[in-house]
Amino acid sequence: MTQSIDPEPPPPLAIARIFRARRETVFNAWSHAEHVKHWFSPRTYSVPDARVEMHVGGAFEVCMRSPSGEAHWTRGTFVEVTPHSRLVIDLHAHDPQGRPLLRAYTEVTFTDALPDGTRIDIAQTYTFVDPAMAALMVAGAPEGWRTTLDKLEQELLRMSGVPERASVTHGGFQLERHYDASIDRVWTALTDPAAKQKWFVGPPGEWELLERQMDVRTGGRERVRGRFKSGVVSTFDASYHDVVRHERLVYSYVMYMDDRKISVSLATMQIKADNNGAKLTVTEHGAFLDGYDDAGSREHGTAYLLDGLGASLAD
């Protein structure tokens, strides 16, 4: 009598994809059931039901419906959650009758790639419960993930508010302020993190700081995120291209409202001596994207901040 031998599990699956979306947006696509329902299934399948509780021990459960109407549940729990960087999910796939087929230990890493892009690396390690059926599923996993990530790409566009037809409009302004302060004090207010956080903020009681990073040097970056009382999160993401001490700053920045990129701007700040004080001139050119109507709000907002800078110098 010959004893049957179960097939050995295959080596781990490794698949990677680069998306033209920020890490926060790509991570959020895994974070909420309403997003997961739009993409977490191969082509021709749909997701009528999902449950996502993004914390260690929380549920990640997805019902995939086949073209013939059969429901295939994948049920798992979060083993590791590192916001915007890494997820580990212990997944278990079942057949339409609810019988377990395989375990897929899934590791997902999120890294920056390209300007405003994100690379995700997915590794799955399999343990067979029903070897015959599980082997068929694993054989189709690379193609299944490929078409699933195609759907994720479309969901990221939807989340970012990109319309079917892209558009861009341009605008610019120049503002001047005289401050009764030395050039050195004005320069410090623009470049020192502790000094800048006194004035580079949203309206008191209407805006809550979520994140602040600042490195003012040629090639340095600055990033400020805050939540308005309405719940909308604004993100200022800047790169410094030219820094001349006590004279000028030249930088570009991208603005986001939630996950939607609304503008890309180039700005210059110049400082000159002026009647025992300092004159600051701000010149900005902006590209406003995909139907976003600035209606002068960027100029008004910058004027508000420059007035706040002046108040901080008077302290």
Write the DSSP symbol of residue 55: S
Helices (H) and strands (E) in the chain, counts: 7, 14
How many structural domains comprise the chain? 2
Token representation of residue 42? 């191969």
- Same domain flag for 234 and 150: no
pLDDT digits (tens, 9 = 90+) for 180-238: 999 999 999 999 999 999 999 988 888 999 999 999 999 999 999 998 887 888 999 99
Note whether residue 2 is domain-resident.
Answer: no
Q: Give the dihedral sign, CA 88/94/99/102.
A: negative
Mean pLDDT estimate for the chain: 90
Nearest Cα to 124, choosing from 87, 96, 158? 87
- Same domain flag for 286 and 151: no
Task: Give the CA distances from residue 275 to residues 178, 180, 215, in Å, rounded to whole numbers and listed in that order.
Answer: 9, 9, 31
What is the rounded (10 degree) CA torsion for 199, 176, 269, 284?
A: 100
CB atoms within 10 A of CB 257: 15
Note whether residue 7 is domain-resident.
Answer: no
- Same domain flag for 152 and 189: no
pLDDT of residue 49: 93
pLDDT for residue 9 is more than 70: no
CATH for 216: 3.30.530.20
Amino acid letter, 176: E
- Same domain flag for 64 and 113: yes
Nearest Cα to 203, choosing from 122, 304, 314, 120? 304
pTM of the model: 0.57
Task: Name the least confident of 75-79, 118-122, 287-291.
Answer: 287-291
101: burial class by Cβ within 10 Å (0-12, 13-18, 19+)?
A: buried
Note whether residue 8 is domain-resident.
Answer: no
- Same domain flag for 118 and 187: no
Rounded CA-CA distance 103/93 in Å is: 6
Parent domain of 308:
168-314
> In the beta sheet, which residues pair with residue 212?
224
pLDDT of residue 8: 65
Query: Are 108 and 120 spatial neighbours (Cβ–Cβ below 8 Å)?
Result: yes
For residue 163, name the pLDDT band (cuts at 50, 70, 90): low
Last residue of a domain, which of 135, 159, 183?
A: 159
Displacement of CA 1 from its chain's centroid (Å) = 59
Which one is predicted more confidently, 284 or 289? 284
- Same domain flag for 62 and 148: yes
- Same domain flag for 145 and 268: no
pLDDT digits (tens, 9 = 90+) for 115-133: 678 999 999 998 888 777 6
pLDDT digits (tens, 9 = 90+) for 256-282: 988 788 899 999 999 999 988 999 999
Rounded CA-CA distance 73/95 in Å is: 7
Last residue of a domain, which of 110, 141, 159?
A: 159
- Same domain flag for 106 and 188: no
Rounded CA-CA distance 129/120 in Å is: 28
- Same domain flag for 252 and 148: no
For residue 253, name the pLDDT band (cuts at 50, 70, 90): very high
- Same domain flag for 199 and 149: no
> In the beta sheet, which residues pair with residue 59?
77
Rounded CA-CA distance 50/61 in Å is: 5
Rounded CA-CA distance 287/266 in Å is: 9
Q: Are strands 233-244 and 248-257 parallel, antiparallel or unpaired?
A: antiparallel
Last residue of a domain, which of 159, 183, 210?
A: 159
Note whether residue 5 is domain-resident.
Answer: no
Task: Give the CA distances from residue 258 to residues 6, 101, 116, 207, 236, in Å, rounded to whole numbers and listed in that order.
Answer: 50, 39, 14, 14, 11
